[in-house]
Amino acid sequence: MSGTGGEGGTPEAYYLPGPDGTFAPTLATESPWSTDAQHGGPPTALLGHVMRARHPAEAMRIARITMEFLGPVPRVPLTVTTAIIRDGRRIRLIEGTLSDASGKPVALARAWQIAANGEGGVPVDRLPPQLPPPIPQSQPQRYFPGFENWGYGESIEWRWVRGSWESPAGEAAVWARPRLPLVAGEPAHPQDRALVVADSANGISGPFDPREWLFIPPAVTVTLHRDPVGDWVCLAAATMLAADGLGSTLGTLSDASGPLGSVAQPLLVSRH
């Protein structure tokens, strides 16, 4: 990557924590549509990360997070506020907001934490195994045509099983490995990797050339029944469209041992 938004060198993380409690996005968050905006993956992961850190609960995990984008998320320092809006011993609901320096909300999220029963408590061996395709060998890293300086795209190593950024087909599968931690100086968490990648579902499965068409997901819902193991996450997705410009993307998240969750996005589709 070419810099950190005005500074030379490779970004050390997607976000740099500030002394005032803000999180400054680096070039690694850069959207392909504008260098002044963030791709949806890193801010979704940031809200999930902060919710988990501020509201820890023994034996509970974030099982679903829905991110609502109130517009392009600006690539400026952002403040995160969170609150528990439904508490409980086995299930609770957390709300989070990303705001810019003026206090204007730019994204909202709600996440359900659900209690785990402990290892071996559920007879999952009764379910048929669903192994993903193996991780391909190293591949040349290419991006959307005309978007070669896309910071978010360059922050991840992509190994395609089906499809590519260059060949829109409406369906694709790719193994992805974020090269950076989410927040500088903070321990990485497996959930961070899954959420950084998940919002790319509509991008990998877009059916039309992105130089001619916009695919705007105003929200993303990620459901995780477990955290990924290892550095790699497999994202398989398909996009469906109506003739009047509404669409939907559905995807599956896996690691080497099998599925770990799903992704769903509504879409606005129109010509540039």
Encode burial over 245-256: b for 16+ CB neighbours within 10 A, e otherwise: eebebbbbbbbe
Please report the pLDDT score of residue 1 as a whole number.
56
* Alpha-helical segments (H) within the chain: 41-54, 151-154, 190-198, 201-204
Long-range contacts of 122-130 (CB under 8 A, 24+ apart): 129/258, 130/254, 130/258, 130/259
E strand or H helix at 216: strand 213-216
Least Cα distance to 56 among 199, 189, 184 occurs for 189
User: Of the given ranges (7-11, 23-27, 29-33), which has the lowest mean pLDDT?
Assistant: 7-11
Which residues, 6 or more positions from 131, have their beta carbon under 8 angstroms from its beta carbon? 257, 258
Cβ 233 vs Cβ 261: under 8 Å: no
User: What would the two tokens of residue 199 be?
Assistant: 């919002």
pLDDT digit string (tens) for 34-86? 899 999 999 999 999 999 999 998 889 999 999 999 999 999 999 999 999 99
- Neighbour-count burial of 65, counting CB atoms closer than 10 A to its CB (0-12 exposed, 13-18 middle, 19+ buried): buried
Which residues, 6 or more positions from 210, have their beta carbon under 8 angstroms from its beta carbon? 32, 144, 145, 147, 168
Percent of the chain past pLDDT 70, that is, above it, reads 94
Please compute the mean of the pLDDT values over residues 104-132 and round it to a whole number. 85
Residue 125 — very low, low, confident or very high, per pLDDT cuts 50/70/90?
confident
Domains of the chain: 15-116+142-271 (2.40.160.210)
CB atoms within 10 A of CB 181: 17
The rounded distance, in Å, linking the Cα atoms of 144 and 213 is: 12
pLDDT digit string (tens) for 220-261? 999 999 999 999 999 999 999 999 989 999 999 999 999 999
